[in-house]
A = this chain, B = another copy of it.
C-alpha cells in the first residue's frame, strides 16, 4: 500500500528518489488527489508537496490517515497550518538549505538592475557595441543604503553580503536584533524613507500580506529600487506599479510577484523593471538538498522519529 504521495513537478532525480526510496505515488498537481480511489487515499500517511496551490482542510480530509505534509521550500504559506493543527498533521519545510541561494539572488537582483546587466548583454549580442550605438550609463551600488524588510535567516544573509559592498544596512523587523552597525527602524515606512534599495525578505502568508503598502512605497526616495525575493503577496502591487509608471521611484527587481507565472502585463511593459521567474532557490545544488531534506522529514515521521525541520509542533513522534 502506498503510504506516500508526491505532488508537484519534481526533477528526475527527486522523482526517482521519491518513488524508489519512499515508494511514493506521483501526482502532477493537488487537484488530482480527489480522483484517487478511496482505499488508496485511506492508506496515505505522508504528502510530499511542491507547489503554490492552496492546500487546506478540504484536501487534508481526503487523506484521513495523513501524518505529515513535507513541503519542498521554506515558504509554506500555501499550506493551511491551522487546518493541519486541527487534524494533528505535522507540516515540515526546507529552511536553511536555501538561505544562501535566495540571499545571493537578492544581491544579483540589486547588481543586475543597477548596473543594467541584461540590456548591456543584449547590446553586445545584438551587435550594437560593434556598431558604436549609445549605451546609457548605469548606477552605482556600493555605498548606497540597503534597507532589509524582515531580518530573518535570509534577510541577515542579504545584509551580510551588502555590508561587504560598503553599503550602510538598515532594517525593519518586529523587534531590534543583535546586529551591531545595522540600523533598526520601527516601521516599514521609516525603513523605506532610508532605503536606496528596499529588499523584501519577509515570510509570506496573511501576517505580511500587503505590508509593503502604498504609504511604504510613497516613503521611498526617488532613486529607490524595490527588490523582492520573498512572496508577491507582501506588496501592494498596484501601488508599486503606479510609482514605477509615474517614475516616482527608479525601478524594481522582482523574483516574485502576484499571480505567478502570469505577471501583470503592466509590470512586463515597464523598462525599469527586472522580472525573474521565482528562481531564488533554483540551483542544481540547493534543489538537491531541498529534495533530500523533504524526504528525510517523511522518512523520520513514517519511522516514528522527530522530523528534522518541523513548522508546527506536538505532532508525529
Contact = CB atoms under 8 A, between A and B. Distances in A.
Interface stretch (A31-39, A135-143, A305-313): A135-143
Given A104-B111, A123-B277, 18 more contacts: A100-B143, A100-B166, A103-B142, A107-B165, A108-B117, A111-B112, A112-B121, A115-B283, A116-B279, A120-B279, A121-B275, A124-B268, A124-B276, A135-B277, A137-B283, A139-B283, A140-B286, A161-B164
Assign chain A's interface to a size class.
Answer: 35 or more
Contact of A111 (B107, B121, B268): B107
B274 A121 contact: yes
Interface of A: 11, 100-101, 103-105, 107-108, 111-112, 114-118, 120-125, 129-130, 132, 135, 137-143, 160-161, 163-166, 260-263, 268, 274-277, 279, 282-287
Nearest to A9: B132
A233 to B, nearest CB: 18
B285 A140 contact: yes
B164 A163 contact: yes
Contact of A107 (B100, B107, B118, B282): B107
A181 to B, nearest CB: 13
A164 B124 CA distance: 30
Contacts of A139: 283-285
Contacts of A108: 108, 111-112, 115, 117
Contacts of A141: 100, 104
B160 A115 contact: no
Indicate the member of A124, A125, A274 with the most B CB atoms within 10 Å.
A124
Residue in A117, A129, A165, A284 whose Cβ sees the most chain B Cβ within 10 Å: A117
